[in-house]
């Protein structure tokens, strides 16, 4: 529902928030056109009217002022035109740990993975986790050549000109450094500089900034490097990307080297030998935290030996050799104004608490997820009590809200003394609030337990499910179609004109053609315009060929996230092979079903969900139409060049003596092999240690090549 144009004083807080969001996006869009491309779509007067409306709304609802508000922007518009940089080595994130037990588990998992005994001590480093922006800075022959943001981990933005303005970062490294050096670390703004900047903004009658991190981010994303230069950004080096030569063989040694090369490194980094010492250092850093001139949100532990780091390797997004021990989240009190239900892509009814806006840890919080109806009652996912029975969450309750990092705010508890006499327990709807279909809690076939999530049974007839499906389809990790956001999907979905309607994914790709023969032109419709329509078609057409894993992920099969989609793409290679296998697996037995379940990382729940998906005629029909428009590419093999086991399927069985099972698996995968849990005709090698039994027999029966650990090592080159 649009509130555009309605008088500011009649808007509710939710409407105002939505309107401010819309204005921020719209003004940013016009700024980009104006500054970046010299091709404005609206008159100056219309642009000023948008800005004025934003200002009036902010004056009435100061608590709703957004971090990306147009009124906060200084200098050139934040640009969308930084060029992409593909990182030579991906920039990964860290796993989080929250308690002493988590840290003990982490350390134990390192010992277990490496097959070490507790008395074969492994050293760890412990250092503050800086709350800034990670940056990769590349030097060739000692000269700074590129600096890139993390981006999605694979591709970042080229912010070299801005990074050069940071005095602490050397432009030239000393003589004798390796030919290629990529130093990684955190760019941040000191608390004192942040406060000074805000004092200056206040004195000039301008809006102040929310926190140092966001200000640092905004300062870096300036097209005009002069603005960045005026912001006094700082840097800590703590990691590296590509290095043509390694100067040291420990984490600690590497960071000391960076220091010698002229980079600032954090003085609180220590090398320690036991969990007790690590935890003591965490406490120490926690005590110093208020006095540090930079924000930190935890302590990072890393295995010190680079050889061990290499053996430990990576999971899909994070290294096994490091973890971030987060400080406890910040909390605040506020009121639940309303409980609303959102219907998701899979029909899940998710309750959301609309809160009286409150600042928690420097950010305004207005919503908190309530997960499901049990959670509202104080019952956790395994049926356990998470709050006393009478602490159910009701509209009007005063609650404790917690926000940890980028996680969605949570309601921890209800303040019973403040409960209103008339407050009633929340009655969870039994029908879908969008389409009216029954909403049910399914019983899990395997466990016999009732699912905690209530789902709308409307399927495709439910507008919420259908539009969420489309939004997932165009989202960043799926088809990533720029210009088709949530608002546009809603518009096309609701449209009754056949030349403008999009109800299923294939229709995205027929839009341009349908428009050619239509009199109702998209470009004449408010909010589109000739330029943006042209761009939209380009963005759509660019996706007519697409990576297989993105295609599979975009289908929105339940339980199939990005990681699973990648596994499937790697295992089956082509879409045809994948789809055929899913159809053949329908009886939940036979070769196709066995192969599917043998893929490491695919469990039975996921396997069943895929088979179910391919049993639904409507899905087959939609995919059929989609394939007339779009071609999924063949999946690429991983790091394979020169690897003798690339693309091969390996099964490990029996006890291994040279490395642990996890390590063997990780190593094989890093060489491009697939590791399966059971032997079938598709298996290429079975590596059998002492005590191997039925799997070895099966391999012999099927004529699959078998070998012992040493032969395997010889094959992969040690
Ligand atoms: S190590 C492969 N060390 O935290 C892991 N990261 O959640 C490389 N961060 O993206 C990261 N302080 O931006 C590392 N001392 C520190 C850090 C740190 C802050 C950030 C970094 C990273 C994120 C991971």
CA R_g for the chain: 28
Q: Say yes or no: CB of residue 319 within 6 Å of ligand 1.
A: yes
Residues 6+ apart with CB under 8 A from 393: 336, 339, 353, 370, 376, 378, 399, 411, 414, 426
Task: Please tell me the distance between residue 206's alpha carbon and the centre of ligand 1 in angstroms.
Answer: 33
Catalytic amino acids? 129
* Order of all β-strands in the sheet with 233-243: 143-149, 133-140, 180-189, 233-243
**Domain ranges for the chain:** 8-73, 96-326, 336-418, 449-636, 649-716
- Tokens 């239900």 correspond to 341
Scanning 419-528, the segments in alpha helix (DSSP H) are: 463-473, 486-494, 506-516
Q: Which two tokens stand for residue 62?
A: 């100061």
Q: Say yes or no: CB of residue 93 within 6 Å of ligand 1.
A: yes
pLDDT score of 131? 92
Q: What whole-number distance in Å separates Cα of residue 696 and Cα of residue 284? A: 53
pLDDT score of 2? 42
pLDDT score of 15? 81
* 307-317 average pLDDT score: 90
Residues 6+ apart with CB under 8 A from 586: 611, 614, 615
Q: Tell which atom from ligand 1 comes closest to the C-alpha of 269.
A: 15
Q: Is the pLDDT of residue 65 over 90?
A: no
**Whether 614 contacts 586, CB under 8 Å:** yes
Burial grade of 266 (CB within 10 A; 0-12, 13-18, 19 or more):
buried
pLDDT score of 238? 98
* 636-644 average pLDDT score: 62
Q: Is the pLDDT of residue 619 over 50?
A: yes
Residue nearest to atom 17 of ligand 1 (CA): 129
Percent of the chain residues past pLDDT 90, beyond the cut:
62
pLDDT score of 391? 96
Interior angle at CA 148, CA 144 and CA 149, nearest 5: 145
Residue nearest to atom 18 of ligand 1 (CA): 129
Give the tens place of pLDDT for each residue, 110-130: 999 999 887 889 999 999 999
Neighbours of 115 (CB within 10 A): 16
Q: Is the pLDDT of residue 75 over 50?
A: no
Task: Please tell me the distance between residue 93's alpha carbon and the centre of ligand 1 in angstroms.
Answer: 6
Question: What CATH number should be reported for the domain whose range is 8-73?
Answer: 1.10.287.610
- Tokens 């926690």 correspond to 286
Residue nearest to atom 21 of ligand 1 (CA): 134
More confident position, 238 or 210: 238
Give the tens place of pLDDT for each residue, 336-358: 999 999 999 999 999 999 999 88
Q: Is the pLDDT of residue 300 over 50?
A: yes
Task: Please tell me the distance between residue 409's alpha carbon and the centre of ligand 1 in angstroms.
Answer: 22
Angle, to 10 degrees, between the axis of helix 486-494 and the axis of helix 463-473? 130
Q: What whole-number distance in Å separates Cα of residue 689 and Cα of residue 706? A: 10
Q: Say yes or no: CB of residue 435 within 6 Å of ligand 1.
A: no
Residue nearest to atom 16 of ligand 1 (CA): 129
Task: Please tell me the distance between residue 283's alpha carbon and the centre of ligand 1 in angstroms.
Answer: 19
Burial 2-19 (b: 16+ CB within 10 A, else e): ebeeeebeebebbbbbbb
Taking the whole predicted model, whether its pTM rises above 0.75 is answered as no
Lowest mean pLDDT among 123-137, 238-252, 318-332: 318-332
Distance of CA 236 to the CA centre of its chain: 24
Task: Please tell me the distance between residue 129's alpha carbon and the centre of ligand 1 in angstroms.
Answer: 6
More confident position, 107 or 718: 107
Predicted confidence band of residue 405 (pLDDT cuts 50, 70, 90): low
**Whether 619 contacts 653, CB under 8 Å:** no
Q: Tell which atom from ligand 1 comes closest to the C-alpha of 318.
A: 2
* 692-711 average pLDDT score: 91
**Whether 392 contacts 378, CB under 8 Å:** yes
Closest among 649, 718, 717 to 686, alpha carbons compared = 649
Question: Which of 251, 300, 314, 321 to mutate to test ligand 1, by most ligand atoms within 8 A of the CB atom?
Answer: 300
Q: Is the pLDDT of residue 311 over 90?
A: yes
The SS3 of residue 564 is helix
Mean pLDDT of the chain: 89
**Whether 614 contacts 639, CB under 8 Å:** no
Give the tens place of pLDDT for each residue, 76-89: 333 457 888 999 99
Task: Please tell me the distance between residue 554's alpha carbon and the centre of ligand 1 in angstroms.
Answer: 29
* 652-675 average pLDDT score: 85
Predicted confidence band of residue 555 (pLDDT cuts 50, 70, 90): very high
pLDDT score of 62? 73
Lowest mean pLDDT among 122-136, 157-171, 205-219: 205-219
Q: Say yes or no: CB of residue 187 within 6 Å of ligand 1.
A: no
Give the tens place of pLDDT for each residue, 516-544: 999 999 999 988 989 999 999 999 999 99
Q: What whole-number distance in Å separates Cα of residue 608 and Cα of residue 619? A: 15
Q: Which two tokens stand for residue 301?
A: 């532990």
Q: Which two tokens stand for residue 235?
A: 């840097």
Predicted confidence band of residue 193 (pLDDT cuts 50, 70, 90): very high
Burial 373-404 (b: 16+ CB within 10 A, else e): bbbbbbbeeeeeeebeeebbbbbebbbebbbb
More confident position, 718 or 488: 488
pLDDT score of 100? 95
* 606-625 average pLDDT score: 95
Predicted confidence band of residue 575 (pLDDT cuts 50, 70, 90): very high
Task: Give 149's strand partners.
Answer: 135
**Whether 709 contacts 689, CB under 8 Å:** yes
Kindly report the length of the chain.
718
More confident position, 37 or 588: 588
* 601-626 average pLDDT score: 94
**Whether 300 contacts 126, CB under 8 Å:** yes
Question: What CATH number should be reported for the domain whose range is 96-326?
Answer: 3.30.470.30
Burial grade of 61 (CB within 10 A; 0-12, 13-18, 19 or more):
middle
pLDDT score of 361? 67
**Whether 638 contacts 683, CB under 8 Å:** no
Task: Give 435's strand partners.
Answer: none
Q: What whole-number distance in Å separates Cα of residue 281 and Cα of residue 275? A: 10
- Tokens 């608590």 correspond to 63
Task: Please tell me the distance between residue 602's alpha carbon and the centre of ligand 1 in angstroms.
Answer: 29
Q: Following CA atoms 61, 67, 70, 74 in sequence, which dihedral angle do they give, to the nearest 10 degrees? A: 130
Write down the CATH superfamily of domain 449-636.
5' to 3' exonuclease, C-terminal subdomain (1.10.150.20)
Q: Is the pLDDT of residue 272 over 50?
A: yes
Lowest mean pLDDT among 155-164, 324-333, 496-505, 609-618: 324-333
The SS3 of residue 676 is strand
More confident position, 55 or 130: 130
Burial grade of 684 (CB within 10 A; 0-12, 13-18, 19 or more):
middle
Residues 6+ apart with CB under 8 A from 84: 151, 155, 156, 157, 158
Q: Say yes or no: CB of residue 114 within 6 Å of ligand 1.
A: no
Q: Say yes or no: CB of residue 294 within 6 Å of ligand 1.
A: no
Task: Please tell me the distance between residue 85's alpha carbon and the centre of ligand 1 in angstroms.
Answer: 19
* 563-580 average pLDDT score: 93
Residue nearest to atom 12 of ligand 1 (CA): 129
Interior angle at CA 74, CA 72 and CA 75, nearest 5: 160
Q: Say yes or no: CB of residue 341 within 6 Å of ligand 1.
A: no
Write down the CATH superfamily of domain 336-418.
Nucleic acid-binding proteins (2.40.50.140)
pLDDT score of 69? 78
Q: Per CATH, is 649-716 categorized as 3.40.50.10190?
A: yes
pLDDT score of 33? 67
Give the tens place of pLDDT for each residue, 467-517: 999 999 999 889 999 999 989 999 999 999 999 999 999 999 999 999 999
Q: Say yes or no: CB of residue 92 within 6 Å of ligand 1.
A: yes
Q: What whole-number distance in Å separates Cα of residue 551 and Cα of residue 479? A: 7
Closest among 691, 696, 650, 690 to 670, alpha carbons compared = 650
- Tokens 């349908």 correspond to 514
Q: Say yes or no: CB of residue 458 within 6 Å of ligand 1.
A: no
pLDDT score of 79? 40
Q: Is the pLDDT of residue 3 over 50?
A: no
Predicted confidence band of residue 73 (pLDDT cuts 50, 70, 90): low
Give the tens place of pLDDT for each residue, 348-387: 999 999 999 887 866 778 899 899 999 999 998 888 899 9
Q: Tell which atom from ligand 1 comes closest to the C-alpha of 127.
A: 15
Q: Following CA atoms 104, 106, 108, 113 in sequence, which dihedral angle do they give, to the nearest 10 degrees? A: 180
More confident position, 629 or 669: 629
């Amino acid at each position: 529902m649009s509130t555009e144009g309605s008088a500011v004083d009649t808007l509710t807080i939710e409407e105002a928030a939505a309107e401010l969001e819309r204005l921020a996006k719209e003004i940013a869009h016009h700024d980009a056109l104006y500054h970046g491309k010299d091709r404005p779509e609206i008159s100056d007067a219309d642009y000023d009217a948008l800005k004025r409306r934003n200002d009036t709304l902010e004056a009435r609802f100061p608590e709703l002022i957004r971090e990306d508000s147009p009124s906060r922007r200084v200098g050139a518009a934040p640009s969308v035109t930084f060029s992409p940089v593909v990182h030579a080595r991906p920039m990964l994130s860290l796993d989080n740990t929250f308690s002493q037990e988590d840290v003990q588990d982490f350390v134990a998992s390192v010992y277990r993975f490496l097959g070490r005994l507790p008395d074969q001590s492994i050293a760890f480093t412990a250092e503050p986790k800086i709350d800034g922006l990670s940056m990769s800075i590349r030097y060739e022959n000692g000269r700074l050549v590129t600096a890139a943001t993390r981006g999605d981990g694979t591709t970042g933005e080229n912010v070299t000109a801005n990074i050069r303005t940071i005095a602490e970062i050397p432009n030239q490294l000393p003589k004798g450094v390796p030919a290629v050096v990529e130093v990684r670390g955190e760019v941040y703004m000191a608390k004192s500089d942040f406060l000074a900047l805000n004092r200056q903004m206040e004195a000039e009658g301008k809006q102040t900034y929310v926190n140092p991190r966001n200000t640092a981010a905004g300062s870096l994303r300036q097209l005009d490097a002069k603005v960045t230069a005026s912001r006094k950004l700082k840097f800590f080096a703590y990691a590296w990307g590509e290095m043509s030569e390694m100067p040291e063989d420990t984490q600690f040694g590497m960071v000391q080297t960076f220091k010698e090369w002229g980079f600032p490194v954090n003085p609180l980094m220590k090398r320690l030998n036991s969990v007790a010492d690590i935890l003591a250092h965490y406490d120490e850093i926690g005590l110093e935290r208020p006095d540090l001139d930079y924000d930190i949100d935890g302590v990072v532990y890393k295995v010190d030996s680079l050889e061990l780091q290499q053996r430990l390797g990576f999971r899909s997004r994070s290294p096994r050799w490091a973890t971030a021990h987060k400080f406890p989240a910040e909390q605040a009190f506020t009121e639940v104004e309303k409980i609303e239900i959102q219907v998701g892509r899979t029909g899940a009814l998710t309750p959301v608490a609309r809160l009286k806006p409150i600042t928690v840890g420097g950010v305004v919080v207005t919503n908190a997820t309530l997960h499901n109806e049990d959670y509202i009652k104080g019952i956790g996912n395994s049926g356990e009590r998470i709050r006393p029975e009478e602490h159910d969450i009701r509209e009007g309750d005063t609650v404790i809200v917690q926000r940890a990092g980028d996680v969605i705010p949570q309601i921890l508890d209800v303040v019973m003394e403040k409960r209103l006499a008339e407050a009633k327990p929340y009655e969870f709807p039994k029908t879908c609030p969008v389409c009216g279909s029954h909403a049910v809690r399914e019983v899990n076939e395997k466990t016999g337990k009732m699912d905690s999530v209530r789902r709308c049974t409307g399927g495709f007839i439910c507008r919420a499910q259908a539009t969420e499906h489309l939004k997932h389809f165009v989202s960043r990790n799926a088809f990533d179609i720029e210009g088709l956001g949530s608002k546009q999907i809603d518009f096309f979905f609701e449209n009754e004109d056949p030349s403008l309607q999009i109800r299923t994914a294939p229709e995205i790709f027929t839009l341009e053609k349908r428009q050619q023969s239509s009199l109702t032109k998209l470009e004449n419709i408010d909010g589109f315009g000739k330029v943006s329509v042209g761009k939209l078609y380009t963005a759509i057409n660019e996706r007519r060929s697409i990576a297989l894993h993105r295609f599979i992920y975009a289908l929105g099969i339940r339980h199939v996230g990005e990681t699973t989609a990648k596994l499937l793409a790697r295992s089956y290679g082509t879409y045809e092979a994948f789809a055929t296998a899913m159809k053949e697996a329908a009886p939940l037995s036979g070769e196709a079903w066995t192969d599917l379940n043998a893929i490491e990382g695919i469990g039975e729940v996921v396997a069943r969900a895929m088979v179910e998906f391919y049993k639904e005629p409507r899905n087959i029909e939609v995919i059929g139409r989609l394939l007339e428009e779009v071609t999924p590419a063949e999946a690429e093999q991983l790091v394979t060049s020169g690897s003798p086991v690339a693309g091969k399927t390996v099964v490990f069985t029996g006890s291994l003596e040279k490395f642990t099972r996890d390590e063997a698996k990780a190593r094989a995968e890093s060489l491009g092999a697939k590791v399966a849990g059971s032997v079938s005709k598709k298996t290429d090698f079975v590596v059998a240690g002492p005590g191997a039994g039925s799997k070895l027999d099966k391999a012999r029966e099927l004529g699959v090549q078998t070998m012992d650990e040493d032969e395997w090592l010889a094959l992969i080159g040690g």
